[in-house]
Structures are given as structure tokens and as C-alpha cells.
Amino acid sequence: MCTQQDPLSSQLEVRDDKQFEFCNMEASGHQNLGWWAVGLAAAYILMMFLNSSVFMRLPVEVAWRQTILPFYGIFMILCGLASGVVGLVAVLRKHERSWLVWLSLFIGISVLFFVLGEFLIPH
């Protein structure tokens, strides 16, 4: 365990095999749920980038565009929502403190606002 003898020893523990362990800090995504939340958030960001840079620039006459894009959009929104839900469970139940998991919460909340806005305020 960490001792409180000097300021540096409150954060580092030196073992016999010269490995250092941070006692008060956690690396990003310590728990399995945290890694899932971060992975789903990364998938959402990648899909969002692909959607805006590739699929939306295609002409309307492309035959497979009308078939593929609705499923792609639904899967992208589900990735964002799942990222937020899994991140929320990781923070509340597993006490995850990673900033990437908090970022996945932000992505989930923003996707939730987008979906609610589409249903509550029609065009």
C-alpha cells in the first residue's frame, strides 16, 4: 500500500522488482465496461466521420445508397446510445473514473438529445 511519509510516496509505491504503481490515479478504461463504453464511442465517432465524409457526398443516383444508409444510420445511433448507457453503468456501478468513459457519457447524452429532438420537434 501507499504510505504517507513524503509527498511522492503518496502517489507511487516502489516494489522489490522496481515496478511503480500509481495509487491515486487510474488509467483510462480500467474495467471491462469502461473499455466497452470507450470502444462503442470510438465506433460512433468513426461512423460519424465516414457518414459525413463519404456517404453524404454520394450522388442520389447511387443505387445502394437508399438501401444501406438507413441501416447504417440506425446502427450508428445505437452505437452512440449504447456507449452512453454502458458508460453510465461503468461510472455508477463499477466506479470508473476514466475521462474517456466520461466522454462516452457525453456522446450518449448528445445522441439521446438528437433522437428526442427528432421525435418531439418534427420538421
In this prediction, residue 114 carries a pLDDT of 95
11 C-beta neighbours (distance < 10 Å), count: 13
Count CA atoms closer than 13 A to 77's CA, side-chain side.
12
pLDDT per residue of the chain (123 residues) written in tens, 0 to 9: 444 455 555 555 555 444 544 444 454 556 788 999 999 999 999 999 999 998 888 888 888 888 889 999 999 999 999 999 999 999 999 888 889 999 999 999 999 999 999 999 977
Query: Taking the domains of the chain in order of start, what are their residue ranges?
Result: 27-120
In this prediction, residue 22 carries a pLDDT of 42
Contacts of 48 (CB under 8 A, 6+ apart): 76
